[in-house]
Amino acid sequence: MDLKKLEQTANLIRQDIIGMLLEAKSGHSAGPLGMADVFTAIYFGDVIKHDPKKPEWEERDRIVLSNGHICPVLYATLAHAGYFPVEELKTLRKLGTRLQGHPHYGVLPGIESTSGPLAQGLSQAVGMGIAFKMDKKKNQVICLTGDGEQDEGQIWEAVMLAGKLKMDNLTQIIDRNNIQIDGFTEDVMPLESLEDKYEAFGWHVIEVNGHNIEKIIDAINMSKAIFEKPVVIIAHTIPGKGVEFMEFDFKWHGMPPNKEQADIALKQLRTLGGKITSEHE
């Protein structure tokens, strides 16, 4: 594992997120920046089966993004992984683009589900996992959710079913950044203890620093070694990670930077390592 290269990749993904949002003049900043390390671990950490040259490969694992509003991090990651040209990232949210404001299945290579209304992704992931079990296939399903999304009843219906069926081919990764659009999660709708709640529903719980790529990779590998239980990885992240004026500020949940703010953000990210891609310089 080349940890330094992985960290540089995450940094480049963050730079592209800023550039995409600036170009689009709309979109979400905090969540995508906060999840760059997790997405880097998934797609570049040798923990899933996928092939950018064969995006429909039947043996691939499925990655479901339930909180679709953080899709800039998914798009940037897929582009750097080789699913489509990096230059296409600057079309985010523009008329006729394949990079819509929420992922749309069947439009862009590497997108496994359509998302928009929150909480539906985990149900979709459970359905995929059930299908793989019925077909006696070894494919794994990873579903990414937000912590504010845990307010939704549909999440807990899916959690109950996955626990009942002992779905050891399903891993949920929760972005535990403690914010949602209206404020801090513990003010809007207290979630703690998430660990106790998931254990009560029959899930195996792993907690991890969502910015330690090595630990994230270890957690995902560990999830595949758990039998007869679905796994939830609670990834503790910093919203707006890498951009000082965005970090921990829930106001950046659904707000893009302007030109001046983007310039400051890119300078800060550049000092952390990596190289700003040409279309965002």
In the DSSP assignment, the letter for residue 90 is: G
Which residue stretches of 201-258 are H helix? 213-223
Nearest in space to 240 (alpha carbons), one of 204, 218, 211, 281: 211
Which amino acid, residue 273? G
Question: Is the model's pLDDT at 280 over the cut of 80?
Answer: no
Neighbouring-strand partners of residue 64: 143
pLDDT at site 116:
85
pLDDT at site 149:
96
59, 222, 116, 153 alpha-carbon torsion, rounded to 10°: 120
Question: Is the model's pLDDT at 278 over the cut of 50?
Answer: no
Question: Is the model's pLDDT at 281 over the cut of 90?
Answer: no
Nearest in space to 230 (alpha carbons), one of 174, 164, 173, 163: 163
pLDDT at site 122:
98
Q: Give the chain's end-to-end CA distance (angstroms, integer).
A: 30
- Summary mean pLDDT of the chain: 95
pLDDT at site 274:
47
Residues 48-75, mean pLDDT to the nearest whole number? 97
9: domain CATH number? 3.40.50.970
Domain count, the chain: 1
> Who's near 271: CB < 8 A, 6+ residues apart?
none
Q: Look up the pTM and report it.
A: 0.94
**Each residue of 169-198: pLDDT tens digit?**
999 999 999 999 899 999 999 999 999 999
Domain that holds residue 271: 3-280
CA 222 – CA 233 distance, rounded (Å):
10
Q: Are strands 170-176 and 231-236 parallel, antiparallel or unpaired?
A: parallel
pLDDT at site 259:
97
Longest dimension (CA), the chain: 53
CA 114 – CA 68 distance, rounded (Å):
8
CA 147 – CA 178 distance, rounded (Å):
7
